[in-house]
């Protein structure tokens, strides 16, 4: 049964329309309003599944105005679905502000999971998946992009980025300059007819993508570097620093420490308990 005054965060396909879930189709057909990144694009998806519901746009440049209108609909007891052009809302789009504001007003927020380009690419990459960082889109200007890459260079685990096709080669060249000759994978046209994974060193991948025109949104995956392993902060030091914050639970502390130190969550949790008991 459809809940009133509920914000549903609904994942849509990133290419292949068969990747939408039964639950997503059902809820999109039941809500009072659908907030979409591009209403024209989303209308094609809705028409494909025979869904006819009021649509409103919600994107970077109108999020403040439309966000308030959507919240008003929720305050009036209406149910709203938030969708993006493709994949999971709130990942590299403005959806999180709407979720934050809804949570602040005690409006229920229900995720309806599905496709996500970053996770789709990661699972088929062949790179470590037990520890990874999704860093979104790098800055478009070279100076800021290199600063951004320097900041994530020492992070443990696999690095996952999004990039526009026309900036792909420039970004790969900066990755080689800042992070070194790591192994990378460029994943493009995911779940579509021309899906492609280009694997190799940065130089090898640059040579491959330079041979033609790259189309479609791109995911770049970067293998863990030796610098990340060498420069990772020791686990005990990280835990002691995080435990100084009394607002964090042991579970949250362990989760953050695992990412920073490059260890498993179970190891971080066990060590956090030991330190807490000793103190």
pLDDT band at 21 (very low <50, low <70, confident <90, very high): very high
Three-state secondary-structure class, residue 128: coil
Half-sphere exposure of residue 20: CA atoms within 13 angstroms, side-chain side:
21
pTM: 0.78
Give 10's strand partners: 112
pLDDT band at 73 (very low <50, low <70, confident <90, very high): very high
Which of 2-6, 31-35, 204-208, 209-213 shows the lowest mean pLDDT across its residues? 2-6
Contacts of 221 (CB under 8 A, 6+ apart): 121, 122, 125, 127, 158, 159, 160, 161, 184, 185, 186, 187
Fold of 118-229: 3.30.950
pLDDT digits (tens, 9 = 90+) for 251-260: 888 877 876 7
pLDDT digits (tens, 9 = 90+) for 141-160: 999 999 999 989 988 899 99
pLDDT band at 67 (very low <50, low <70, confident <90, very high): confident
Fold of 7-115: Cobalt-precorrin-4 Transmethylase; domain 1 (3.40.1010)
Q: What's the Cα-to-Cα distance from 127 to each of 15, 50, 71, 222, 258, rounded to whole Å?
A: 23, 39, 41, 8, 18
The closest of 168, 162, 118, 171 to 144, measured between CA atoms, is 171
Domain with CATH 3.30.950.10 in the chain: 118-229
- For the record, the structure tokens of 32 come out as 């009072």
């Amino acid at each position: 049964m459809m809940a009133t005054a509920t914000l549903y965060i609904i994942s849509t396909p990133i290419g292949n329309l068969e990747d939408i879930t039964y639950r997503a189709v059902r809820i999109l057909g039941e809500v009072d309003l659908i907030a979409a990144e591009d209403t024209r694009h989303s209308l094609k998806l809705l028409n494909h599944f025979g869904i006819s519901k009021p649509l409103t746009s919600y994107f970077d440049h109108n999020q403040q105005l439309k966000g308030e209108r959507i919240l008003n609909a929720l305050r009036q007891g209406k149910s709203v679905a938030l969708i993006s052009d493709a994949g999971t809302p709130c990942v590299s789009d403005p959806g999180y502000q709407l979720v934050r504001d809804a949570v602040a007003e005690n409006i229920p927020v229900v995720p309806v999971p599905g496709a996500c380009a970053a996770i789709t690419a990661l699972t088929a990459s062949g790179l470590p998946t037990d520890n990874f960082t999704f860093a979104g889109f790098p800055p478009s200007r070279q100076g800021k992009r290199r600063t951004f890459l320097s900041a994530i260079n020492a992070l443990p685990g696999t690095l996952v980025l999004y990039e526009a096709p026309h900036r792909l080669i420039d970004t790969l060249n900066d990755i080689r300059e800042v992070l070194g000759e790591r192994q990378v994978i460029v994943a493009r046209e995911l779940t579509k007819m021309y899906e492609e994974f280009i694997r190799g060193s940065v130089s090898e991948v640059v040579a491959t993508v330079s041979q033609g025109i790259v189309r479609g949104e791109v995911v770049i995956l970067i293998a863990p570097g030796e610098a990340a392993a060498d420069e990772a902060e020791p686990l005990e030091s990280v835990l002691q620093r995080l435990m100084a914050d009394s607002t964090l639970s042991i579970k949250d502390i362990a989760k953050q420490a695992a990412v920073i130190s490059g260890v498993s969550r179970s190891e971080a949790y066990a060590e956090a308990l030991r330190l807490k008991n000793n103190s």
